[in-house]
Chain A
Amino acid sequence: MTAQTLYDKLWASHVVREESDGTCLLYIDRHLVHEVTSPQAFEGLKLANRPLWRKDSVVSTADHNTPTDHWDQGIQDPISRLQVETLDANIKAFGALAYFPFKDIGQGVVHVMGPEQGATLPGMTVVCGDSHTSTHGAFGALAHGIGTSEVEHVMATQCLVAKKSKNMRVSVEGQLGAGVGAKDVALAIIGKIGTAGGTGYAIEFAGSAIRGLSMEGRMTLCNMAIEAGARSGLVAVDDKTIAYVKDRPLAPSALQWDAAVAYWNTLHSDEGAHFDAEVELKAEEVAPQVTWGTSPEMVVDVNGRVPDPALETDAVKKAGAMRALEYMGLTANTAMTDIPVDVVFIGSCTNSRIEDLREAAAVARGRKKAANVKQVLVVPGSGLVKQQAEAEGLDKVFVAAGFEWREPGCSMCLAMNADRLLPGERCASTSNRNFEGRQGQGGRTHLVSPAMAAAAAVTGHFADVRKLEAV
């Protein structure tokens, strides 16, 4: 048999039928559902009088619209409240394997909740009406975002109509330096291949530096695959994957465990498997990253400077860079460490897991928010992450530093709830998108790691976390 990539294996094992033009019906094992992209899909089912094909494939939570403070007052925005209540009603009417509604201890960002509950397992196909579904590829699962029509299609048929992507391998060999993490690797990769570099591909992240990452780190990396244009990111299964899954509420039972592990251990690319594209990075060369523009590919090392568009030869790129500098209120050649920040956001499906909060707390411990920083929001990824962080005393570290410790949700990553930037405000954010208006109309987003966000909070500007003076 020819050598297969991990993606080849996952794809082949889920094909129900294939048309002559390569269009496949791909079977979906897990469907994660949230309030924003599902109401029209449920409505479609109702109109056509169709049931869910398999309700035990559905795991759901509310996250995008939920507030992160004053939970006793419920959801103040009536339109947001209606959307969340619509999800409650739809889950009640149609059923699900598990549902974590607003204020439930299991509620949280859908891409934090899924793995945490064991709803995401190696070898699965996982879909969700959310582009950051790529996160779940960290478990050796084929996971990607879909639109609402496809949400309805999966609900009604348990399948997606899809064509196979090409294979790309991004290898990161070596050891990451202290203060450099998965977020920096993700941004460095996007800086290298661009936000369309992975379009049409499934990206497998490989190499010793990737194997060295925790599951949280691998999730951060796969989460950002979509910012490189790839709908899916993947990491091969190893002992860390299996240890993370063990004993999760929805993980296989003790009776089924050994058989599951035996299968999961086959989920890696074979020696000599063919990749259509290969990208290599040296871990030692990755420094803490900061974006300067309005696309994740507009990124430099923290010790770098805002690029000069005059040096760009491609006319479309030059126009984009000039427009980005204008929107961001930046001047070419400014040192990144000279840029002050107004707001810091630590959270999102990219960086709100326990390890991210530990990383930020390690920087915040014994330090104070800089006077020029108006607000530092720390938003845990789920109720369970919040509980764990509080058990470790991280909340007290943040509060002592002058940071705000909030309730879980998507929050200022996309600013659908009340957490948002004001026009012109500059934010060091651990989220995934620095698009115009993403965190609030006129807001200026710089993407960074949790450690770098905390460093910006305590210094008042972007700072190399490796060079902070000891406290």
Chain B
Amino acid sequence: MKAFNSLNALVCPLDRANVDTDAIIPKQFLKSIKRAGFGPNLFDEWRYLDHGEPGMDNSVRPLNPDFVLNSPRYAGAEVLLARENFGCGSSREHAPWALEDQGFRVVIAPSFADIFFNNCYKNGLLPIVLAADVVDRLFAECEANEGYSLNIDLPAQTVTTPDGTAFTFDITEHRKHCLLGGLDEIGLTLQHADEIRAYETKRRASQPWLFA
């Protein structure tokens, strides 16, 4: 997993509530057995004017000029600014894979759906919850100022606007540690293999029907 420390990057505003993971990456792209290459199909049904299918040359497809991601002004954005309940619906990890593959490292929203929120951390993508009025302010500033960038500092847990206003965000120690180090969580858990085995032995004795 890519480590995350700090970032000063362009912000792309996606001004819709309840953006679901079906919208982030439509189902036909879930047929892939690979983990990479989903970026060009991020928000496929909003981003292109035609119907997308796996295997198409996305570089020649007609773009929807009204979709924010296609605006030259936001090209190269690494911070996605979103509305409440971002990432709701399907548990597909292809959603954070697609965001990460497109180049996003941070999503800021007033709230996230639980499964999506959790999936982000496994992929070096930092989801940040800020209060709704702060997010309103960021939307207004982003839309008013071309080239609007935010500074994201994970060690300090702050989001800082160009005028120097800093907003703090919460993250668990465990997630922060894993993101900062880009750590393999399975490797970390396997350091506790003896405890897992001890738990399993007890469980096998008390609930033998759970073991074949």
CA distance A43 to B174 in the complex (A): 25
Q: Is the CB of B113 within 8 A of A437?
A: no
Contact partner, A25, options B26, B123, B192, Cβ 8 Å: B192
Q: Is the CB of A441 within 8 A of B209?
A: no
CA distance A139 to B125 in the complex (A): 35
Q: Is the CB of A435 within 8 A of B115?
A: no
Smallest beta-carbon distance B42→chain A, Å: 14
Q: In the complex, which residues of chain B have a beta carbon less than 8 angstroms from the beta carbon of A316? A: 17, 83-84
5 chain-A/chain-B pairs, Cβ below 8 angstroms: A36-B30, A50-B186, A131-B90, A195-B18, A295-B20
Which residues of chain B from 116 to 166 have any CB-CB distance to chain A below 8 Å in the complex? 118-119, 122-123
Q: Is the CB of B30 within 8 A of A121?
A: no
Q: In the complex, which residues of chain B have a beta carbon less than 8 angstroms from the beta carbon of A146? A: 91, 115, 118
Q: Is the CB of A229 within 8 A of B31?
A: no
Smallest beta-carbon distance A280→chain B, Å: 23
Contact partner, B93, options A19, A148, A323, A436, Cβ 8 Å: A148
Q: Is the CB of A229 within 8 A of B28?
A: no
Q: Is the CB of A437 within 8 A of B26?
A: yes
Q: Is the CB of A150 within 8 A of B173?
A: no
Q: In the complex, which residues of chain A have a beta carbon less than 8 angstroms from the beta carbon of B208? A: 256
CA distance A426 to B90 in the complex (A): 22
Q: Is the CB of A83 within 8 A of B33?
A: yes
Q: Is the CB of A416 within 8 A of B32?
A: no
Q: Is the CB of A229 within 8 A of B35?
A: no
Q: Is the CB of B122 within 8 A of A147?
A: yes
Q: In the complex, which residues of chain B have a beta carbon less than 8 angstroms from the beta carbon of A123? A: 207
Does A156 count as interface, using CB distance less than 8 angstroms?
yes
Q: In the complex, which residues of chain B have a beta carbon less than 8 angstroms from the beta carbon of A272? A: none
Known: A27-B200, A196-B88. A295 touches B209 (CB 8 A): no
CA distance A411 to B189 in the complex (A): 37
CA distance A129 to B55 in the complex (A): 24
Does A332 count as interface, using CB distance less than 8 angstroms?
no
Smallest beta-carbon distance B198→chain A, Å: 8
Does A16 count as interface, using CB distance less than 8 angstroms?
yes
Q: In the complex, which residues of chain A have a beta carbon less than 8 angstroms from the beta carbon of B115? A: 131, 144-147, 226, 231
Does A48 count as interface, using CB distance less than 8 angstroms?
yes
Q: Is the CB of B90 within 8 A of A415?
A: no
Smallest beta-carbon distance A19→chain B, Å: 6
Smallest beta-carbon distance B106→chain A, Å: 18
Contact partner, A124, options B90, B185, B210, Cβ 8 Å: B210
Does A10 count as interface, using CB distance less than 8 angstroms?
no
Smallest beta-carbon distance A358→chain B, Å: 29
Contact-residue bracket for chain A? 35 or more
Does A62 count as interface, using CB distance less than 8 angstroms?
no
Does A320 count as interface, using CB distance less than 8 angstroms?
yes
Q: In the complex, which residues of chain A have a beta carbon less than 8 angstroms from the beta carbon of B119? A: 147, 149-150
Q: Is the CB of A17 within 8 A of B192?
A: yes
CA distance A295 to B89 in the complex (A): 10
Q: In the complex, which residues of chain B have a beta carbon less than 8 angstroms from the beta carbon of A165? A: 114
CA distance A80 to B28 in the complex (A): 9
Q: Is the CB of B199 within 8 A of A121?
A: no
Q: Is the CB of A27 within 8 A of B31?
A: no
Q: In the complex, which residues of chain A have a beta carbon less than 8 angstroms from the beta carbon of B118? A: 146-147, 150
Does A40 count as interface, using CB distance less than 8 angstroms?
yes
Does B59 count as interface, using CB distance less than 8 angstroms?
no
Q: Is the CB of B113 within 8 A of A196?
A: yes
Which of B85, B173, B195 counts the most chain A CB atoms within 10 A? B85
Question: B43-63, CB under 8 A of A: which get 1 and which 0?
Answer: 001000001001100000000
CA distance A317 to B51 in the complex (A): 28
Closest to A24 in B: B174
Contact partner, A37, options B17, B92, B211, Cβ 8 Å: B92
Q: In the complex, which residues of chain A have a beta carbon less than 8 angstroms from the beta carbon of B96? A: 147
The 5 closest A-B pairs by CB, nearest first: A252-B209, A149-B122, A147-B93, A147-B119, A39-B33
Does B73 count as interface, using CB distance less than 8 angstroms?
no
CA distance A41 to B212 in the complex (A): 23
Q: In the complex, which residues of chain B have a beta carbon less than 8 angstroms from the beta carbon of A252? A: 209
Q: In the complex, which residues of chain A have a beta carbon less than 8 angstroms from the beta carbon of B26? A: 437, 441
Contact partner, B31, options A97, A295, A319, A416, Cβ 8 Å: A416
Contact partner, B174, options A19, A77, A231, A435, Cβ 8 Å: A19
Q: In the complex, which residues of chain A have a beta carbon less than 8 angstroms from the beta carbon of B84? A: 196, 316
Q: Is the CB of A157 within 8 A of B88?
A: no
Smallest beta-carbon distance B171→chain A, Å: 10
Smallest beta-carbon distance B84→chain A, Å: 6
Q: Is the CB of B172 within 8 A of A22?
A: yes
Contact partner, A131, options B16, B34, B54, B91, Cβ 8 Å: B91
Does A193 count as interface, using CB distance less than 8 angstroms?
no
Task: Known pairs A149-B119, A252-B209, A414-B90; list 17 more (Cβ under 8 Å).
Answer: A21-B174, A25-B195, A27-B199, A36-B92, A43-B35, A77-B31, A80-B31, A147-B92, A161-B185, A195-B18, A196-B84, A199-B114, A226-B89, A226-B115, A230-B114, A253-B209, A435-B23
Q: Is the CB of B174 within 8 A of A320?
A: no
CA distance A125 to B126 in the complex (A): 28
Q: Is the CB of B114 within 8 A of A200?
A: yes
Q: Is the CB of A79 within 8 A of B17?
A: no
Does A367 count as interface, using CB distance less than 8 angstroms?
no
Does A260 count as interface, using CB distance less than 8 angstroms?
yes
Closest to A38 in B: B33
Q: In the complex, which residues of chain B have a beta carbon less than 8 angstroms from the beta carbon of A77? A: 31
CA distance A54 to B212 in the complex (A): 10
